[in-house]
Amino acid sequence: MKFPSEPFKIKVVEPIRRTTHEERDRLLREAGYNLFHVPAQSVYVDLLTDSGTSAMSDDQWAGLMLGDESYAGSKNYYHLEETVRSIFGYKHVIPTHQGRMAENLLFSTIVKSGMCIPNNIHVDTTRANVEHQGAQALDVVIKEAYDPHCELPFKGNMDLVRLEEAINRVGRNRIPLVMLTITNNSGGGQPVSMDNIRQTRALLNRYRIPLFFDACRFAENCFFVKERELGYASKSILDIARELFSYGDGCIMSAKKDGLVNIGGFLSLNNDQWAQGFPTYGGLAGRDLEAMARGLHEVLDEDYLSFRVGQVRYLGELLDQAGVPILKPIGGHAVYLNAKEFLPHIQQAQFPAQALVAALYREYGIRGVEIGTVMFGKLDSATGRTIHPELEMVRLAIPRRVYTNMQITYVAESIIELYRWRERIHGLALTYEAPVLRHFTARFKELEEKPLVQQAAS
Ligand SMILES: *Cc1c(COP(=O)(O)O)cnc(C)c1O
C-alpha cells in the first residue's frame, strides 16, 4: 500500500476546537503575527514541531503506573539501560531530561576552546552548545543538501572529501569527535546512508577520531535505509539500527522524537573515562524512564514506521501533485513549503515564509513554523544590511501518532487552496526584535499596500 492507514485505534480523545476566521485574525494581530504567541488551544492542526508532541501508547501509559521512584537502583532505570544497550550497543547509558542536556554533558566535558566539531548539519542546540565552549560547529554535508530541487535518496550524507580537508586543515588534535545527525533535521529530515556512515567510520579510523550520532530520528533513518539502500530490504529495523550504531562510539538522543515520549533523552557511549565525568541521574522520574524504554521498543515496529513516514509523504505528495512548491525529496518528519517560490511577489526583506505561516493560521487554523529570514537572517554590521539565508521555508512537522490521515488531508487541501490565491498574501515588516533568538519574540505588522515586485538584487 502506498500510504498505509493508521496501525492503531483511538482509545482516548483530546477535543480540538475549530475557531472562526474573525477570532484567528484577532489572535494573530495580538500575537504580532508571531505564531509562538498564539495559544495552542486556538490552533486546529498544530504542526509547529514533532518534538515532545507524540501520542503515547496504552502500553506506555500503563508503564507510567509501574514507575519505581526509589532514589537509587530504580527498576525502570535498569529497563531503560537494557533497552538502550540492546538497540544502540553502547556501554554507558546516562538519562537526561531532553536532548540538549545530553549535548551539554558531552560537549562541556570534552570540547575545549579552539576546537572544532564537524557534523553533517548541526541543529541549533548542538551548534549553541559547541559554540558555548568557544569551539567551532562545522557543517560538512554534501552540497546537494542545499538545493531544494535536487532529489537524492540520502541527501543527509556527509561530504567525505570536505571532512578530510577539514581534518587536515584544523588538525586531528583539535577535533575530539565527529557527529552525524540522523536524520538530518536542519537539512529537511533527510537520511544518511549506511554506506556513508561506514565510509565516515573508515576515514575517522585513519585519524583515530571518535564518531558520535545525534540520534533523535534514528528509527526514521533506519526505515529509509531499509527502503532505499541495496541489501537492507529484508533486514529488520532493529538489525539495521544495531549495524548503524556499531560504526559509532556513542550517541546523544532526544527521546521527544523517536523515543515517542513527551520528555526525556539520554547520552550513551563506550568511553569509560568520559562517562565518569557525567554527574547526573537525569532529572527524570522512574515512570518517565519506563515510558521512554517502552517507546524505544515501539518505534522500531515496521507497521508504525511505514505509517509514520508514509503520512509525511502523503501530505508532501498531495501538495506536490497540485504544483505547490516543496523541498524534495520529502523527509522523514516534516514537509517544507518553499516560500520563495510560493510567494515570488514578496521580497525576502518582507519575510515571505513568516507571511505564509500567518496566512495558514488565519485562513485555516493550521500552525507551521518559519525557517528563513526571521530565524536565520543576520545583520551585516559593516553595511547595516540584513544578510538573508539561502532557503526561505515553512516547516510543517507532523507529530507522531497524533493526527489522522483525514486531518492531514485537510491540511493539504487548505494549502492547495491558499496557493491558488497566493497573490493576495502581503509581506510583513518587523516592529520588534530581541538581540538573540529573535524568532521566538519578534513582532510584525502586515504591509497593506500592493506587494512590491521582487527586485533582482535583493
Ligand atoms: C530536537 C533535537 C535536539 C535537541 O533535543 P531537545 O530534546 O529538544 O533538547 C538535538 N538534535 C536534533 C537533531 C534534534 O532534532
Query: In terms of C-beta distances under 8 Å and separation of at least 24 residues, what long-range contacts does 341-345 make, across chains too?
Result: 342/394, 342/419, 342/422, 343/422, 343/425, 344/454, 345/423, 345/451, 345/452, 345/453, 345/454
Question: Could you say which DSSP state residue 146 is in?
Answer: G
Confidence of residue 437 (pLDDT cuts 50, 70, 90): confident
Query: In terms of C-beta distances under 8 Å and separation of at least 24 residues, what long-range contacts does 451-457 make, across chains too?
Result: 451/345, 451/346, 451/350, 451/423, 451/426, 451/427, 452/345, 452/346, 452/347, 452/350, 452/427, 453/345, 454/344, 454/345, 454/346, 454/347, 455/347
Which whole number is the average pLDDT over 260-285? Answer: 87
Most informative mutation of 53, 104, 214, 218 for ligand 1 (most atoms within 8 A of CB): 214
Which whole number is the average pLDDT over 100-117? Answer: 94
| Gap between the Cα atoms of 142 and 163, Å rounded | 10
**Atom in ligand 1 nearest the alpha carbon of residue 186:** 13
The yes or no reply on domain 58-298 and CATH 3.40.640.10 is: yes
Q: Whose CA is nearest to atom 10 of ligand 1?
A: 99
Domain boundaries, the chain: 21-50+302-446, 58-298
Q: How many angstroms does the Cα of residue 59 sit away from the middle of ligand 1?
A: 25
Q: Which amino acids bring their CB within 6 angstroms of ligand 1?
A: 51, 98-100, 123, 125-126, 181, 185, 214, 216, 254, 256-257, 265
pLDDT at 457: 40
Q: How many angstroms does the Cα of residue 101 sit away from the middle of ligand 1?
A: 10
Q: Is 136 or 276 the better-scoring residue by pLDDT?
A: 136
Share of the chain above pLDDT 70, in %: 97
Segment 275-299, tens digit of pLDDT = 887 656 678 999 999 999 999 999 9
pLDDT at 324: 98
Residue 427 has pLDDT above 70, yes or no: yes
**Atom in ligand 1 nearest the alpha carbon of residue 101:** 9
pLDDT at 71: 83
Q: How many angstroms does the Cα of residue 253 sit away from the middle of ligand 1?
A: 7
pLDDT at 276: 84
pLDDT at 454: 44
Lowest mean pLDDT among 193-207, 232-246, 441-455: 441-455
Q: How many angstroms does the Cα of residue 334 sit away from the middle of ligand 1?
A: 15
Which whole number is the average pLDDT over 325-340? Answer: 97
Neighbours of 380 (CB within 10 A): 9
Q: Whose CA is nearest to atom 4 of ligand 1?
A: 99
| Gap between the Cα atoms of 203 and 185, Å rounded | 24
Q: How many angstroms does the Cα of residue 125 sit away from the middle of ligand 1?
A: 7
Residue 451 has pLDDT above 60, yes or no: no
Lowest mean pLDDT among 6-10, 185-189, 328-332, 361-365: 185-189
Residue 436 has pLDDT above 80, yes or no: no
Pairing state between β 378-380 and 443-446 = unpaired
pTM score: 0.94
Q: How many angstroms does the Cα of residue 426 sit away from the middle of ligand 1?
A: 33
Most informative mutation of 125, 141, 218 for ligand 1 (most atoms within 8 A of CB): 125
**Atom in ligand 1 nearest the alpha carbon of residue 256:** 7
Q: Whose CA is nearest to atom 14 of ligand 1?
A: 216
Q: With contact defined as beta carbons under 8 Å apart, do 290 and 63 qualify?
A: yes
**Atom in ligand 1 nearest the alpha carbon of residue 265:** 7
Segment 30-45, tens digit of pLDDT = 999 999 999 999 999 9
Lowest mean pLDDT among 217-221, 278-282, 354-358: 278-282
Most informative mutation of 180, 185, 333, 400 for ligand 1 (most atoms within 8 A of CB): 185
Segment 142-169, tens digit of pLDDT = 999 999 999 999 999 999 999 999 999 9
Q: How many angstroms does the Cα of residue 347 sit away from the middle of ligand 1?
A: 31
Q: How many angstroms does the Cα of residue 79 sit away from the middle of ligand 1?
A: 23
Q: How many angstroms does the Cα of residue 357 sit away from the middle of ligand 1?
A: 22
Candidate ranges 68-72, 140-144, 280-284, 377-381; pick with highest mean pLDDT:
140-144
Q: Whose CA is nearest to atom 8 of ligand 1?
A: 99
Query: In whole angstroms, how large is the CA radius of gyration of the chain?
Result: 22
Residue 26 has pLDDT above 90, yes or no: yes
Segment 117-133, tens digit of pLDDT = 999 999 988 999 999 99
Most informative mutation of 100, 119, 369 for ligand 1 (most atoms within 8 A of CB): 100
Which whole number is the average pLDDT over 391-405? Answer: 96
Residue 450 has pLDDT above 90, yes or no: no
Lowest mean pLDDT among 90-94, 98-102, 273-277, 433-437: 433-437
Q: How many angstroms does the Cα of residue 451 sit away from the middle of ligand 1?
A: 37
Q: How many angstroms does the Cα of residue 124 sit away from the middle of ligand 1?
A: 8
**Atom in ligand 1 nearest the alpha carbon of residue 51:** 1
Q: Which CATH architecture has domain 21-50+302-446?
A: Alpha-Beta Complex (3.90)
| Gap between the Cα atoms of 95 and 267, Å rounded | 6
Lowest mean pLDDT among 71-80, 104-113, 436-445: 436-445
Q: Whose CA is nearest to atom 3 of ligand 1?
A: 99
pLDDT at 280: 60
- Report which secondary-structure segment, H or E, holds 374: helix 373-376
Q: How many angstroms does the Cα of residue 232 sit away from the middle of ligand 1?
A: 27
pLDDT at 452: 47
Confidence of residue 440 (pLDDT cuts 50, 70, 90): confident
pLDDT at 420: 96
Which whole number is the average pLDDT over 303-316? Answer: 98
pLDDT at 456: 41
Share of the chain above pLDDT 90, in %: 86
Most informative mutation of 49, 96, 217, 254 for ligand 1 (most atoms within 8 A of CB): 254
Q: How many angstroms does the Cα of residue 261 sit away from the middle of ligand 1?
A: 13
Which whole number is the average pLDDT over 173-180? Answer: 98
